[in-house]
Amino acid sequence: MKKYTYSAKRSDNKEKWCVIDAKDKVLGRVATEVAARIRGKNNPLFTPHADTGDWVIVLNADKVRLTGNKWDQKRYYRHTGYMGGIKSVTAKELLEKKPEELLRKAVRGMLPKNPLGRKLNTKLHVYAGSEHPHAAQKPEFVEI
């Protein structure tokens, strides 16, 4: 009898939609759970090189918490492409302007830095409020 390691294909995965409420939760704790679900680490079919994860909807991204002095000290950087064009924004400023980006950046940093990671990043839907337009997918609520 041959023994081999099973390698899942994308077609083997029965993708589910799940909803996570980020209200009064710490940013990093929510982001690790979301990244693991998108990647498929909670699935017994997990294969590192294949998309075996679920679709994740995160609600109340504007009510997420940070510990310590991170609201003022944590900075997010970007570059304009011009000489000396580095821009930075604090976590508090980013929360005021684009509350969804705070969680989206945290999850993106936890996904692989390759074409698979970019594909997995499209499976994340973040909303500042408690409503979402994905009722047709029949998402199930997941408690963290």
- Predicted pLDDT at 1: 62
Q: What is the mean pLDDT of the chain?
A: 94
Residue 3 lies in a domain: no
The pTM of the full predicted model, rounded to 2 decimals, is 0.91
The answer as to whether 42 is a domain residue is yes
2 lies in some domain = no
Residue whose tokens read 């294949």: 50
96 within a domain of the structure (yes/no): yes
Question: Is 37's pLDDT higher than 90?
Answer: yes
Phi, psi of 21 (to 5 degrees): -95, 120
Residue 57 has pLDDT above 90, yes or no: yes
Tell me: pLDDT of 132 over 70.
yes
% of the chain exceeding 90 in pLDDT: 87
- Angle between the N-to-C axes of helices 27-39 and 99-108, in degrees from 0 to 180, rounded to the nearest 10: 60
Distance CA 118, CA 21 (A): 24
DSSP H or E stretch at residue 128? none
CA distance 22 to 143: 10
Q: In terms of DSSP bridges, do strands 140-142 and 17-21 run parallel, antiparallel, or are they unpaired?
A: parallel
Domain that holds residue 127: 15-142
Domain assignment of residue 6, yes or no:
no
- What's the CATH number where 124 sits? 3.90.1180.10
Q: Is residue 5 part of a domain?
A: no
CA torsion through residues 60, 42, 115, 109, sign: positive
Alpha carbon distances (Å) from 120 to 108, 110, 117, 141: 9, 11, 5, 20
Total tally of structural domains belonging to the chain = 1
Q: Which amino acid is at 67?
A: T
Give the closest residue to 23 by CA, choosing from 121, 99, 111: 99
